[in-house]
């Protein structure tokens, strides 16, 4: 899909807005519905109550005019009775139109009694015979009040039940919408954030000069384009690094050959082969010899560092027994440690890992050489190896002057030597720790210097390649 980062973000936001906006609209509609239904219930309740009260008043008028007619037999009073009865019937019809089920039977009974009263008046029945009919009309009016209130209560209860049901449905819809929004956020976040991790890994590899793996970035179209640009940069940097290494090797070798001849010539002068030298001439020759030796050491350090950088591009892993490997490294440094009267101690488990043993040997030799040089006479250097959490950890601890705090970050740079000097003179070029760093990075690990109250505490961590 050719979707850019902005389009993906916009699409995700739109989906979230649609989900939450739909739920909000649904909530608003539900509220509006219940407000309208509540208003209608209120109006109907008022109509029922008012109509029942009016029916009661009309019933009183009907009964009074009926009694008066029975006594006076006046046609005008009879007309008044019919008018009151017609008004009462209109009220009954109005109540019947409200479709209040509890009132249906009472309204029918009221009509029947009213017709009986009218028929009795037309038939000339006596007041004693019509009295029960009029009493029943009054009784029905009282029953209507209770039935009307009961009907209002039923409507209110039904509204509350429906409101509770709608509240639960609305809550479920909100929960579903929130879950959907969360899923959209997670999906869009995974789709958008995943390329960031690839970019971080690619940039870290470029910074560590690991140009062997191509840069592949997925996700949005603009991220993939950025990945292709980083891959082009990787190839370009790999070419530049190769050119730099070739140039460095060429220059170093070109300098090494005349420098060797120069050193031999100075040595001949020092030995007075061409002729006897005066005291001032011997002093000049000594200065020349010291500087030629120092310059040759710097060139050899450049060659060593360049070789380490060249060898770091490939790895050959072999099974290595950690303890035996470190014991062999100590044996190689035995003469150096005896000359400095330094004890070497190994603490390591007797386990096997897969590792590039040649690179690891160079790392251990450089760390041991530095530790021995900076240890005081009678001191001790400890090689401590541990294994766990997918890491092989090698520590080299000495009892020397340690590294100054301001040198802890720059001590791994080429040709950098710390402010604190070794107890005895040493002829180092300052590239040993740089070689350690290059080879540790080549094996996918790192080297660091830990704070220590006494001496230096170097730690190398590389991935633990276990045998299948």
Query: CATH code at 448?
Result: 3.30.565.10
Which residues in 33-63 are b (16+ Cβ under 10 Å) and which e?
ebeeeeeeeeebbebbeebbebbbebbbbbb
Residue 313, pLDDT score:
55
Residue 343, pLDDT score:
93
How far is residue 58's CA from residue 158's CA, in Å, rounded to a whole number? 32
Does some domain include residue 199? no
Whole-number percent of the chain with pLDDT over 90: 8
Residue 255, pLDDT score:
67
Does some domain include residue 266? yes
Residue 408 has pLDDT above 50, yes or no: yes
Please write the tens of the pLDDT for every residue from 219-255: 777 778 888 888 888 888 888 877 776 776 666 666 6
How far is residue 403's CA from residue 448's CA, in Å, rounded to a whole number? 12
Does some domain include residue 200? no
Residue 9 has pLDDT above 60, yes or no: yes
CB distance 106 to 145 below 8 Å: no
Residue 423 has pLDDT above 70, yes or no: no
Residue 308, pLDDT score:
58
**pLDDT classification of 21: cutoffs 50, 70, 90:** confident
* 282 and 326 fall within a common domain: no
* 344 and 300 fall within a common domain: no
Question: Across residues 287-312, what is the average pLDDT?
Answer: 64
Residue 446 β-bridge partners:
461
Mean pLDDT of the chain: 80
Which of 442, 217, 227 shows the shortest CA–CA distance to 313?
442
52 vs 375, more confident: 375
CATH code, domain with 135: 1.20.120.1730
Question: Across residues 119-143, what is the average pLDDT?
Answer: 81
* 350 and 425 fall within a common domain: yes
Question: Across residues 34-59, what is the average pLDDT?
Answer: 82
Question: Across residues 400-411, what is the average pLDDT?
Answer: 80
Number of compact structural domains in the chain: 3
Residue 347, pLDDT score:
92
Three-state DSSP class for 425? coil
* 248 and 350 fall within a common domain: no
| Backbone phi and psi for residue 246, each to the nearest 5 degrees, phi listed first | -65, -45
* 43 and 121 fall within a common domain: yes
Residue 331, pLDDT score:
92
Does some domain include residue 436? yes
* 164 and 252 fall within a common domain: no
Q: Which residue has the tokens 């029943």?
A: 136
* 378 and 414 fall within a common domain: yes
Lowest mean pLDDT among 44-53, 137-146, 232-241, 301-310: 301-310
**pLDDT classification of 468: cutoffs 50, 70, 90:** very low
Question: Across residues 256-263, what is the average pLDDT?
Answer: 72
* 347 and 304 fall within a common domain: no
Residue 114 has pLDDT above 60, yes or no: yes
Does some domain include residue 171? yes
The contacts of residue 25 (CB under 8 Å, 6+ apart) are: none
Whole-number percent of the chain with pLDDT over 70: 87
Report for 168-177, 215-224, 275-284, 293-302: range of highest mean pLDDT = 168-177
* 384 and 401 fall within a common domain: yes
285 vs 447, more confident: 447
Tokens linked to 14: 């739109």
Residue 75 has pLDDT above 90, yes or no: no
Q: Which residues form the domain of 332?
A: 318-463
| 381 CB neighbour count, 10 Å cutoff | 27
Please write the tens of the pLDDT for every residue from 432-458: 788 888 888 888 888 888 888 888 889
Residue 325, pLDDT score:
92
pTM of the predicted model, to two decimals?
0.46
Report for 184-193, 311-320, 421-430: range of highest mean pLDDT = 184-193
Report strand pairing: 380-388 vs 391-397: antiparallel
Does some domain include residue 277? yes
Residue 384, pLDDT score:
93
* 227 and 154 fall within a common domain: no
Which residues in 336-369 are b (16+ Cβ under 10 Å) and which e?
ebeebebebebebeeeebbbbeebbbbbbbbbbb
Q: Which residue has the tokens 């830990």?
A: 450
Residue 375 has pLDDT above 80, yes or no: yes
Of 291, 311, 331, the domain-final residue: 311
CB distance 237 to 213 below 8 Å: no
Does some domain include residue 24? yes
Residue 31, pLDDT score:
83
DSSP at 378: T
CB distance 218 to 246 below 8 Å: no
* 351 and 437 fall within a common domain: yes
Q: Sign of the C-alpha dihedral, residues 401, 459, 415, 283? A: positive
Question: Across residues 284-296, what is the average pLDDT?
Answer: 73
Residue 306, pLDDT score:
61
Does some domain include residue 194? no
Which of 449, 378, 366 shows the shortest CA–CA distance to 407?
449
* 297 and 323 fall within a common domain: no
Question: Across residues 113-128, what is the average pLDDT?
Answer: 80
CB distance 52 to 95 below 8 Å: yes
Residue 294 has pLDDT above 90, yes or no: no
Residue 396, pLDDT score:
93
How far is residue 111's CA from residue 55's CA, in Å, rounded to a whole number? 12
Of 311, 329, 361, the domain-final residue: 311
Tokens linked to 451: 């704070």
Which of 299, 264, 300 shows the shortest CA–CA distance to 285?
264
Of 311, 328, 358, the domain-final residue: 311
Question: Across residues 318-347, what is the average pLDDT?
Answer: 90
């Amino acid at each position: 899909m050719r979707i850019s980062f902005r389009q993906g973000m916009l699409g995700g936001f739109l989906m979230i807005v649609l989900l939450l906006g739909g739920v909000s609209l649904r909530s608003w509609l539900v509220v509006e519905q219940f407000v309208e239904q509540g208003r209608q219930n209120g109006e109907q309740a008022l109509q029922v109550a008012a109509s029942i009260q009016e029916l009661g008043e009309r019933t009183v008028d009907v009964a009074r005019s009926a009694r008066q007619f029975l006594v006076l037999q006046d046609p005008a009073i009879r007309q008044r009775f019919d008018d009151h009865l017609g008004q009462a019937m209109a009220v009954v019809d109005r109540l019947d139109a409200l479709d209040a089920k509890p009132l249906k039977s009472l309204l029918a009974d009221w009509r029947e009694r009213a017709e009986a009263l009218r028929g009795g008046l037309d038939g000339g029945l006596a007041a004693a015979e019509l009295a029960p009919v009029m009493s029943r009309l009054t009784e029905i009016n009282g029953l209507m009040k209770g039935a009307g209130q009961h009907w209002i209560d039923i409507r209110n209860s039904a509204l509350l039940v429906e409101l509770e049901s709608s509240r639960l449905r609305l809550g479920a819809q909100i929960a579903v919408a929130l879950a959907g929004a969360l899923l959209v956020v997670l999906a869009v976040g995974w789709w958008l954030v995943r390329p960031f991790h690839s970019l971080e890994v690619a940039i870290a590899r470029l910074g560590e000069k690991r140009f062997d793996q191509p840069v592949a970035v997925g996700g949005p179209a603009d991220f993939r384009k950025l990945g292709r640009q980083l891959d082009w940069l990787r190839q370009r940097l790999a070419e530049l690094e190769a050119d730099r290494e070739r140039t460095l090797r060429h220059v170093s070798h070109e300098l090494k050959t005349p420098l060797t001849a120069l050193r031999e010539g100075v040595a001949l002068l020092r030995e007075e082969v061409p002729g006897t030298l005066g005291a001032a001439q011997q002093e000049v020759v000594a200065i020349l010899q010291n500087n030629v030796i120092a310059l040759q050491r710097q060139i050899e350090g450049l060659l060593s560092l360049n070789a380490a950088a060249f060898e770091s591009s490939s790895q050959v892993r072999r099974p290595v027994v950690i303890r035996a490997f470190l014991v062999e490294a100590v044996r190689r440094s035995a003469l150096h440690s005896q000359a400095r009267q330094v004890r070497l101690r190994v603490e390591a488990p007797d386990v096997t890992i897969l590792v590039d043993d040649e690179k690891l040997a160079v790392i251990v030799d450089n760390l041991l050489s530095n530790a021995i040089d900076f240890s005081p006479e009678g001191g001790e250097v400890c090689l401590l190896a541990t294994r766990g959490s997918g890491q092989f950890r090698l520590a080299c601890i000495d009892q020397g002057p340690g590294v100054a705090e301001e040198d802890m970050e720059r001590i791994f740079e080429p040709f950098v030597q710390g402010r604190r000097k070794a107890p005895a003179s040493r002829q180092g070029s300052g590239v040993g720790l740089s070689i350690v760093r290059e080879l540790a990075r080549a094996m996918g690990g790192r080297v660091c210097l830990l704070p220590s109250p006494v001496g230096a505490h170097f730690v190398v961590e590389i991935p633990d390649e276990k045998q299948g």
